[in-house]
Amino acid sequence: MKTLITASDNNTEALFDKRFGRAAWFCVYDEDSKDIKFIENMNVNANNGAGTKAAEKAVELDIKKIISGDFGPKAKDLLTKFQIQMVIIQEDELTINQIINTLTG
Amino acid sequence: MSTRIAIASGKGGTGKTTVALNLFTILGDTIAEKIELVDCDVEEPNDQIFFKHAELESQENIYQIVPHIDEDLCIFCRNCVEYCEFNAIVVLPGVKFAEVNKSLCHSCGACSIACAQEAILEYPQKIGMVNSYGIKNQIKLKEGRLKIGSVMQTRLIKELKNRISGDSDIIIYDSPPGTSCPVVETISDTDYVILVTEPTLFGLHDLKLMVNLMKEVNIPYGVVVNKAGLGDNEVYDYLKNQKIDLLGEITFSKDYASIYAQGEIIENMPESIKYQYDHIIEKLMQKLEDD
């Protein structure tokens, strides 16, 4: 099962980005293979619809769970439609590694 | 050609409506035979409330055209997604999903052109209405009223303006608050903009935002300080330093605020306040002649 974590940079020491559509990078973590990939958010500076685009990307990547700081209404609609679980973390200063570690328990 | 004047402010609650109504009334009583007040605050139009005897002359529904994707005809090629400047279309070939997000759509029609399958149908969706009222003789009021839930403020203001007859001597636009797209649309075709502010920290802060906007759109403007006597002198120092025209002041009065709250400022204008408006109009007319 694949989880997407919004990240401020493309490595596991990077800080978690609490913005969904406006995060610079998406970290994709595969819980089965333990594989970690970073995908650049091409719509980070879009005038409109950055959240929708990020949600679209998540569906494309067959993501089942997204960890971010918040989700806008349009992204939420789409993610709900495709039954992607939205997890909100409000804590600052977390690294991607720390979040992955909590996932693997 | 009509003279078009917008009343704007940046900050809400500075007195745009008060100033717009008073200028409209006084100008209509004196120098303008044909005059129109246009309430561009389409999210909460309230100018009409002050005219208890206004007669509704016409009411028109305003629509935007929105596309709909027929998923049976769509081949999920994503051509429309590429064409859409506003990221309003989601097409997911993997799961055969195609949808237009109406709140992001600007009704430009590009997706229909992009689609070779004719899978995109366009249909009208109501965004609000335009109401026209007669006050007396050639004195008219028009307002845009946004449908609840619609986010098409700017489009509705555009449609409202398209419906103004050009034969008035003076047209006054009562602008929405803020400095974003609906305000830019409101002031875009004006000859002069009156910025209403109040002598408080908040009034000054938002006035500065508005002044930045005015520099960008390059339309002549001047400032009216409403609720004078409240707050401090910072706004006056700012106007002086920036060499911005001060058209006049209106003294703060609790009694006057209570007349406003009862919706009776048209009928009950105190002499002292009328005097201040006469002064503002005199300066305004001078500015209009200069430009």
Q: Which residues contact B29 (CB under 8 A, 6 or more apart)?
A: none
Instruction: Please report the pLDDT score of residue B37 as a whole number.
Output: 96
Work out whether the CA dihedral B228, B231, B237, B239 comes out positive or negative.
negative
pLDDT in tens, B9-26: 989 999 999 999 999 999
In this structure, is residue B267 part of a structural domain?
Answer: yes
pLDDT in tens, B164-198: 988 899 999 999 999 999 999 999 999 999 999 99
Angle at the Cα of A4 (from A43 to B69), degrees rounded to 5?
55
pLDDT in tens, A19-69: 999 999 999 999 999 999 999 999 999 888 999 999 999 999 999 999 999
The full length of chain B comes to: 291
Q: Based on the domain organization, do B81 and B156 belong to the same domain?
A: no
How far apart, in whole angstroms, are the C-alpha atoms of residue B215 and residue A55?
39
Instruction: Please report the pLDDT score of residue A103 as a whole number.
Output: 87
B28 in Cβ contact with B35 (< 8 Å): yes
Residue B88 has its nearest CB partner, among A49, A55, A82, at: A49
Q: Identify the bridge partners of residue A7 per DSSP, sorted by sequence position.
A: A16, A25
Confidence of residue B104 (pLDDT cuts 50, 70, 90): confident
In this structure, is residue B243 part of a structural domain?
Answer: yes
Q: Based on the domain organization, do B91 and B198 belong to the same domain?
A: no
Q: Based on the domain organization, do B211 and B81 belong to the same domain?
A: no
Please give the sequence-ordered ranges of beta strands (E in DSSP) within A1-105, or none if there are none. Answer: 2-7, 25-30, 36-40, 63-68, 85-88
Residues 73-102 of B with CB under 8 A from A: 86-88, 90, 92, 94-95, 97, 101
Q: Based on the domain organization, do B217 and B84 belong to the same domain?
A: no
CATH assignment at residue A52: 3.30.420.130
Which chain B residues are Cβ-neighbours of A62 within 8 angstroms? 94
Confidence of residue A12 (pLDDT cuts 50, 70, 90): very high
B140 in Cβ contact with B133 (< 8 Å): yes
Q: Based on the domain organization, do B82 and B204 belong to the same domain?
A: no
In this structure, is residue B123 part of a structural domain?
Answer: no
Mean of all residue pLDDT scores within chain B: 93
A52 in Cβ contact with B86 (< 8 Å): no
CB contact under 8 A, A48 and B88: yes
How far apart, in whole angstroms, are the C-alpha atoms of residue A23 and residue A18?
7
Beta strand B139-146 with B120-136: parallel, antiparallel or unpaired?
antiparallel
In this structure, is residue B36 part of a structural domain?
Answer: yes
Please give the sequence-ordered ranges of beta strands (E in DSSP) within B26-152, or none if there are none. Answer: 35-39, 55-69, 89-92, 97-100, 120-136, 139-146
Identify the helix (H) or strand (E) that includes residue B213: helix B201-217
The total domain count for chain B is 2
Q: A60: alpha, beta or left, given left = phi > 0 and alpha = psi -120 to 50?
A: alpha
How far apart, in whole angstroms, are the C-alpha atoms of residue A11 and residue A14?
5
ipTM over 0.90: no
Q: Based on the domain organization, do B191 and B76 belong to the same domain?
A: no
Query: Which pair of tokens denotes residue B79?
Result: 């051509």
CB contact under 8 A, A53 and B94: no
Instruction: Please report the pLDDT score of residue B193 as a whole number.
Output: 97
CB contact under 8 A, A60 and B94: yes
Q: Based on the domain organization, do B258 and B160 belong to the same domain?
A: yes
In this structure, is residue B125 part of a structural domain?
Answer: no
On whether any CB of chain A is under 8 Å from the CB of B275, the answer is no
Q: Based on the domain organization, do B177 and B75 belong to the same domain?
A: no
How far apart, in whole angstroms, are the C-alpha atoms of residue A67 and residue A59?
14
Range B133-138 average pLDDT: 89
CATH assignment at residue B205: 3.40.50.300
CATH assignment at residue B85: 3.30.70.20
In this structure, is residue B32 part of a structural domain?
Answer: yes
Range B269-275 average pLDDT: 90
Residues of chain B with pLDDT > 90, as a percent, come to 80
A13 in Cβ contact with A100 (< 8 Å): no
The total domain count for chain A is 1
Does residue B94 surpass a pLDDT of 70?
yes
Residue that is written with structure tokens 């149908």 in the block: B121
Q: Based on the domain organization, do B148 and B221 belong to the same domain?
A: yes
pLDDT in tens, B229-263: 998 999 999 999 999 999 999 999 898 889 888 88
CB contact under 8 A, A74 and B101: yes
Q: Based on the domain organization, do B246 and B109 belong to the same domain?
A: no
Q: Based on the domain organization, do B243 and B285 belong to the same domain?
A: yes
In this structure, is residue B124 part of a structural domain?
Answer: no
Segments forming the whole domain that contains residue A75: 2-104
Which chain A residues are Cβ-neighbours of B94 within 8 angstroms? 59-60, 62
Which chain B residues are Cβ-neighbours of A55 within 8 angstroms? 90
Instruction: Please report the pLDDT score of residue B32 as a whole number.
Output: 87
Segments forming the whole domain that contains residue B178: 3-62+130-290
Q: Based on the domain organization, do B193 and B50 belong to the same domain?
A: yes
Q: What is the interface size between A and B, counted as CB pairs within 8 Å?
A: 36
Domain end among B84, B118, B152: B118
Range B18-36 average pLDDT: 92
Instruction: Please report the pLDDT score of residue A105 as a whole number.
Output: 65
